[in-house]
Structure 1
């Protein structure tokens, strides 16, 4: 992993999560990609080069490890301990969050329509 540039806020927590992840995205397929070529884990590393979608640098973020917790409000996520966090690349984070949201909506009971009579 090349130089770790921490975020402005929560740098200590972010660095602890990145150290535990060895600077690599910890997605194991919850994003919808099997990551089979890379042993079942996303190959993206922090500050590594993004080969697709315009290139640029990969910036990992510390977010809840459990997909369902990705839907928590930000103030709940901020209170999570480092053991409940994982390193995510933007692509895997967004895809996992979207898939979790769709699954939650599909299993939610249908709201009864408001009726006047």
Structure 2
């Protein structure tokens, strides 16, 4: 793990999540991509080179493993235990969070009209 540069804050937790993931994104299709060519799991590895989307180095982040938990406020995410976190590449993380947001909006109850302006 010597090649991995941890974030400034939470370095020990980030290192533990990356070690459990073997430095590879843990997305298994929640981003909308099947990852079929890669055995069902995203093939992006931390500090690897990404050929698409502008190139550059892949930087994995430790974030909630459950898609719905990606919508929690930052202070609640920061309080999650290590077992509730997974390694995500930016592309899978963002796509999964957006899908969770769409699901949340689709299942949210309709807002009641404001009583102040009711009939």
Q: Same fold (TM over 0.5)?
A: yes
Residue 38 of structure 1, CA deviation: 0.1
Matched position secondary structure for 1:63: strand
Which digits, 9 at most, give the CA deviation of each residue in 1:37-66, with x for residues without a partner?
000000000000011011000000000000
Q: What is the number of residues matched between the two proteins? A: 117
Residue 112 of structure 1, CA deviation: 2.0
Matched position secondary structure for 1:47: coil
CA RMSD of aligned residues (A): 1.2
Residue 97 of structure 1, CA deviation: 0.2
Structure 1 spans left out of the alignment, 5+ residues: none
Q: How does 1:60-71 map to 2 (within 5 A)?
A: 60-71=60-71
Which digits, 9 at most, give the CA deviation of each residue in 1:11-45, with x for residues without a partner?
00000000000000000000000000000000000
- The TM-score normalised by the length of structure 1 is 0.96
Residue 116 of structure 1, CA deviation: 3.2
Aligned twin of 1:3: 3
Report the more deviating stretch, 31-40 or 1-10.
Answer: 1-10
Aligned twin of 1:102: 102
Q: Distance in 1 between matches of 2:110 and 2:71?
A: 19
Q: Distance in 1 between matches of 2:86 and 2:7?
A: 15
Residue 2 of structure 1, CA deviation: 7.4
Q: Distance in 2 between matches of 1:21 and 1:50?
A: 18
> Where in structure 1 do 4 or more consecutive aligned residues deviate above 6 Å?
none
